Amino acid sequence: MDQAEQLRNIIKKQNQRKRLARVITVTSGKGGVGKSNLTVNLAIQFSRLGRRVVVLDADFGLANVEVMLGLRPRYSLADLLFRGKDLYDVLSPGPENIHFISGGSGLYELANLDDGQLQYLVQMMYELDHIADIILIDTGAGISRSVIDMALASPEVLLVATPEPTSITDAYALLKTLSKQKEFTSDIQIQMVANRTHSYQAGEELFEKLDAVAAKFLDVDMEYLGNVPYDEKLMRAVMQQRPVSVAYPNAASSKALQRLAALLEHREGVPVLRKGKGISGLLSRMFHAGR
């Protein structure tokens, strides 16, 4: 048995015993469609539902979540991997009890880690699995290898799209790339969120369009989670470096995000998580894919 296999066995055993965090990866075909806003505001809404939430900022280089929250974390996952920091060093407190971890370059080094480093990372993430109920991963823009690997390793993917034609073609391109990978299976649950819509109907139409081509040409199944309306208040909140759910809790977008969080919570019972739960499991699957 090689070390990777040993690691997977350890995780498998541990997973059978304990409740691990629910991991939701937020992604899109292109940047600027509202992933970071969706991630942070869903985190706030889940926290209001009494969940312990951690946001993992995997948007390498841009450090989106930090900018959105107007916070400057002391350490990132790269410090955990390469500079001896532990989980509690890299967990930064955000508003309303949410916490976040800045990925830094850490998540993109997975393929280059030696077994000892990887084991340490998975151990730390296993600890995170026990202090969080929900972990939301905000991924970077575009169809990079790491985003693809992360989505493939996730039991649940939230695909964000807007009604602009370029967003639809880019979302399709992402689905196409995902569906062509050998790790792609139908037990990855893909749920679409229509963002910046001008009506409820526009969101449904966007979903129907994308779903039809994905089913026909890619044999990919998606579900529709719902829409977040175009909202000036959200833009104003971004300027203030505050999540709209905090700055304007009664804004149309905040209300929509509250509804989406409730829906997601409601769907938790659905047995989609055959692949195993937890961020530790996700990382070990990514690691497996990378070698």
Ligand X SMILES: Nc1ncnc2c1ncn2[C@@H]1O[C@H](COP(=O)(O)OP(=O)(O)O)[C@@H](O)[C@H]1O
Binding site for Mg ion (CB under 5 A): 35-36, 64
Least CB distance to ligand X at residue 20 (A): 26
Side-chain-side CA neighbours of residue 220 (13 Å): 27
Residue 231 contact partner, candidates ligand X, Mg ion, none, CB within 5 to 8 A by sort of partner? ligand X
**Spatial distance between the Cα atoms of 77 and 12, rounded to a whole number of angstroms:** 24
Task: Check if the beta carbon of residue 140 is closer than 8 Å to that of residue 147.
Answer: yes
Across 100-134, b (16+ Cβ under 10 Å) vs e yields bbbbbebbbbbeebeeeebbebbbbbbebbeebbb
Q: Does 161 bind ligand X (CB under 6 A)?
A: no
Task: Check if the beta carbon of residue 280 is closer than 8 Å to that of residue 11.
Answer: yes
Q: Does 248 bind ligand X (CB under 6 A)?
A: no
Q: Does 37 bind ligand X (CB under 6 A)?
A: yes
The DSSP bridge pattern shows strands 99-102 and 91-93 to be: antiparallel
Least CB distance to Mg ion at residue 138 (A): 6
Stretch of 6-14, 33-41, 179-187, 262-270 contacting ligand X, by CB under 6 A:
33-41
Q: Does 235 bind ligand X (CB under 6 A)?
A: yes
Q: Does 122 bind ligand X (CB under 6 A)?
A: no
- Largest interatomic CA distance in the chain: 56
Least CB distance to Mg ion at residue 219 (A): 29
Q: Does 106 bind ligand X (CB under 6 A)?
A: no
Task: Check if the beta carbon of residue 1 is closer than 8 Å to that of residue 8.
Answer: no
Stretch of 28-36, 41-49, 77-85, 216-224 contacting ligand X, by CB under 6 A:
28-36
Residue 196 contact partner, candidates Mg ion, ligand X, none, CB within 5 to 8 A by sort of partner? ligand X
Tell me the number of residues near ligand X by CB under 6 A: 19
Per-residue x/- track, 176-205, ligand X (CB under 6 A): -------------------xx---------
Q: Does 94 bind ligand X (CB under 6 A)?
A: no
Between 65 and 128, name the residue whose CB sits nearer to ligand X: 65
- Proportion of the chain in helix, strand, coil states, percent, rounded to 5: 55, 15, 30
Residue 76 contact partner, candidates Mg ion, ligand X, none, CB within 5 to 8 A by sort of partner? none
**Spatial distance between the Cα atoms of 259 and 271, rounded to a whole number of angstroms:** 21
Across 270-290, b (16+ Cβ under 10 Å) vs e yields eeebebbbbbbbbbbbbbebe
Which amino acid is residue 235, in one-letter code? M
Q: Where does this chain bind ligand X (CB under 6 A)?
A: 28, 31-37, 64, 141, 195-196, 228, 230-231, 234-235, 238, 253
